[in-house]
Structure 1
Amino acid sequence: MKVLRWYGAQDIRLSDVPNAVHKDNEVLVQVAYCGICGSDLHEYQDGPHAIPCGAMHPVSGHQAPLTLGHEFCGQVVAVGDQVSTVKVGDRVAIEPEYRCQTCRYCKSGDYNLCESMGFIGLMGDGGMAEQVAVPEYMLHRLPDTVSYRQAAVLEPSAVAEHALNRSALKPGSRCLVIGLGPIGLLLIMLARLRGITDICAVDISPERLHKAQQLGAQHTLDGRQPDLLMQLQQLSDGGYDSVFEAAGSQTTFTTALQAAKKGGEVLLVGLMGDISLDAFDLVNREVRLQTSVGYRNVYPTLISHIAEGAFDPSVIVTRTVGLENALSAGFDALLSSKEQIKVLINPNPSLNEQEHQFHV
């Protein structure tokens, strides 16, 4: 079968590998769509960051080279002897976090904090492939009213939903989202779904600012403006209740802290390394600094929202590509143009053609 395999920085290859084989507690999934995530782009640009090299991941048992892709969905084509929750033919979304199921965090239900945390497609062979073997606990069955195209964007939606769950945001709150990649845009959509109407969005891309406005942001601001902070203070009457930092840079982090009101909060959703902050100012204004990683127990809620027609994450999809041109038309396009937001890889065109006919 064909896969997109990571061998090193700037070295992702379309490869022919033996067909995937599932274990007794696994399911073999024919992949419908797999999204390209910012994490995948980082691994492509200058990895490894999360990909295990030189030692096996303790849960997956894999190391590089491995097949990328953790934002995926598809159809069950085979099940292991111990599998009881899905059957052949089921349409499924994958919640790609590995769980050791024995550590204190897994036992308490906080499985996104597993001591051996990791993601299929980063720490084990993932969904940029025609087929992939997946642990049963990762699977969520899809109702007929949820398309594969929508299900392929469930994973970044889960990141946004978990961040909102970690926040103190409630109807009537003022909300600021800095960074309008897929997560930032999904934060806006899901905040609106919670009844939040006073949302400001900041980015440097005109295309993404326009998209944020379409998705429900009341105000949009170019982050390069020299008076950005003054504008944010005016729009928020002195500061935002909740600020979501979804860009991942020192500049945007500093802006997020400065834009929070006294007693407000800053949620770090974007990934970044070492940063500095004015702790004196943070303490003086009692600003809470909160973090969010991955997700837990949010997929059923999101699937219900989609099935009911309340939420459609596929509106952020800007392009669909095949495995054979995923590097040039997917990875490279995302790195070179802010017009591309979410690109989906389609390893099995016939599977999606059948679904399109069904949903039409």
Structure 2
Amino acid sequence: MKSVMVTAPNTTEIVEVPEPTAGPRDVLVRIRACGICGSDHMYTMYGGIPPRQGATPLGHEPAGEIVFVGDEVQGAQVGDHVVINPMAASDGIIGSGGAQGAFSPFVVLFDAVAGTHFRVIPNEIPFEVAALNEPMAVARHAVNRSGAKAGEQAVVFGAGPIGLGVLLSLKAKGVEHVVVIDIIPTRLEKALAIGADAVINSAEEDVKARLIELHGEAPPVVGIRDARPATDLYLDAAGAPVVPTTVFGLVKQGARLVIPAVHKKPVEVDFGGLLTTEISIIMSMGYPTEIFEVTDDLIANWQKYQLIISDRFDIADVQRALEVAATPGAADKVMVTLD
């Protein structure tokens, strides 16, 4: 079969590889859709993913259909539609340094356990929406790390796929009011369609003044002389240095900042100036427990999640899909479908 691999720095190729075989404890999945992640571009730039050497398979946001179930596997039948936990694969993380990638017709789940390696989903959920499960788990982990709860007010910087996933998870947690901030009007329109209570174009509006208007003014405290919005929680899904800098200049005392975004440049922090804010800065990476936690909400609200997808390509055009996904501003969430 054919598989998309990183073969050298800034080089991907479609390579012939042996079709995987499954045994009595395994499940074979025909991949029907796989999303492209920003990390796919990073892997390509660096020419692979440690610890693997040489050709490295790509594709870690899969959904598919079970075509073989080993005699010793429980909780699965041929024909079931499934989402997959790439991190649980015993032969390495699927599409992220493991032996298999999901830009391939088939993936085998060795020693497969329902609820650990895969989860069955209703057949009416489109495969392209189901393939959002992995990045949405990243967003859900950030929200879980934040401690978000009903009645709070939150701000999400960045209306890309993770930011929109954070928005959906915040609303699922019962957060009262969520503002999404970005500089691209079409992204802000999408955020409103998905469920944002308000949006701010930070290229055109005063973020601090607008947040005070939307969330009210925090009570004054010793050491903070200017007016601050009553926002409880900020989440950085943009990864731009201006985001934490902006947050540091407007947080009320006791607010939290959660950062699931990858920052490629250092950010200068004036801890002396932040002392009286008692801000909590929380980093968030991956999805230690969230891969199937987010699935219920995805199933219940799949029409909203579907809006996150901006571009669709057939696997025959996967090289073009990877190029579009890697071009800044060209697309938001690119999905590749396989027959």
Same fold, TM-score > 0.5, yes or no: yes
Amino acid at match of 1:47: Y
Which of the residues 241, 247, 252 maps onto 1:250? 241
Give the Cα separation in 2 of the matches to 1:226 and 1:214: 20
1:113 aligned partner: none
Q: How does 1:210-221 map to 2 (within 5 A)?
A: 210-221=189-200
2:96 aligned partner: 122
Contact 1:93 1:142 in 2 (8 A): yes
Match status 1:77 vs 2:72:
no
Match status 1:186 vs 2:165:
yes
Which of the residues 109, 130, 142 maps onto 1:134? 109
Instruction: Give the C-alpha shift of residue 226 in structure 1.
Output: 7.6
Contact 1:145 1:307 in 2 (8 A): no
Q: How does 1:96-245 map to 2 (within 5 A)?
A: 96-98=86-88, 119-124=93-98, 125-135=100-110, 136=112, 137-225=116-204, 227-236=206-215, 237=217, 238-239=228-229, 240-245=231-236
Give the Cα separation in 1 of the matches to 2:177 and 2:319: 38
Contact 1:76 1:91 in 2 (8 A): yes
2:220 aligned partner: none
- SS state at 2:232 partner: strand
Match status 1:268 vs 2:266:
no
Tell me the TM-score normalised to structure 2 length.
0.85
2:57 aligned partner: 67
When residues 99 and 5 of structure 1 are mapped into structure 2, their CA distance, relative to the original with a 3 A threshold, is closer
- SS state at 1:166 partner: helix
When residues 127 and 310 of structure 1 are mapped into structure 2, their CA distance, relative to the original with a 3 A threshold, is closer
User: How much identity, in percent, do the aligned residues show?
Assistant: 28
2:222 aligned partner: none
Give the Cα separation in 2 of the matches to 1:336 and 1:81: 45
Contact 2:190 2:307 in 1 (8 A): no
Tell me the TM-score normalised to structure 1 length.
0.80
1:352 aligned partner: none
1:86 aligned partner: 76
Contact 1:175 1:241 in 2 (8 A): yes
2:223 aligned partner: none
Structure 1, 7-16 or 28-37: larger mean CA deviation? 7-16
Residue deviations 1:289-322 (CA, integer Å, cap 9, x gap): 1122222443444333344447742221122211
Amino acid at match of 2:198: H
Residue deviations 1:314-349 (CA, integer Å, cap 9, x gap): 221122211221222x2222333636221111122x
> Over the residues paired in the alignment, what is the CA RMSD in angstroms?
2.6
Residue deviations 1:12-66 (CA, integer Å, cap 9, x gap): 112222212346654221101000111112223x225x811xx44xxxxxx4412
Aligned length: 321
Structure 1, 150-159 or 233-242: larger mean CA deviation? 233-242
Instruction: Give the C-alpha shift of residue 243 in structure 1.
Output: 0.4
1:51 aligned partner: 49
Contact 1:243 1:259 in 2 (8 A): no
Amino acid at match of 1:67: P
Give the Cα separation in 2 of the matches to 1:337 and 1:275: 21
- SS state at 1:316 partner: coil
Give the Cα separation in 1 of the matches to 2:238 and 2:138: 14
Contact 1:160 1:186 in 2 (8 A): yes
Where structure 2 has 5 or more consecutive residues not aligned to the other structure, the ranges are: 218-227
- SS state at 2:79 partner: coil
Instruction: Give the C-alpha shift of residue 160 in structure 1.
Output: 1.4
Contact 2:133 2:298 in 1 (8 A): no
Give the Cα separation in 1 of the matches to 2:140 and 2:198: 21
- SS state at 2:168 partner: helix
When residues 221 and 335 of structure 1 are mapped into structure 2, their CA distance, relative to the original with a 3 A threshold, is farther
Contact 2:178 2:196 in 1 (8 A): yes
When residues 18 and 42 of structure 1 are mapped into structure 2, their CA distance, relative to the original with a 3 A threshold, is same
Residue deviations 1:196-215 (CA, integer Å, cap 9, x gap): 24211111212111111222
Contact 2:194 2:304 in 1 (8 A): no
Contact 1:208 1:338 in 2 (8 A): no
1:336 aligned partner: 327
1:298 aligned partner: 290
Contact 1:257 1:266 in 2 (8 A): no
Question: Could you say which structure has the higher helix fraction?
Answer: 1
Which of the residues 311, 318, 322 maps onto 2:310? 318
When residues 276 and 19 of structure 1 are mapped into structure 2, their CA distance, relative to the original with a 3 A threshold, is same
Contact 1:3 1:323 in 2 (8 A): no
Instruction: Give the C-alpha shift of residue 94 in structure 1.
Output: 0.5
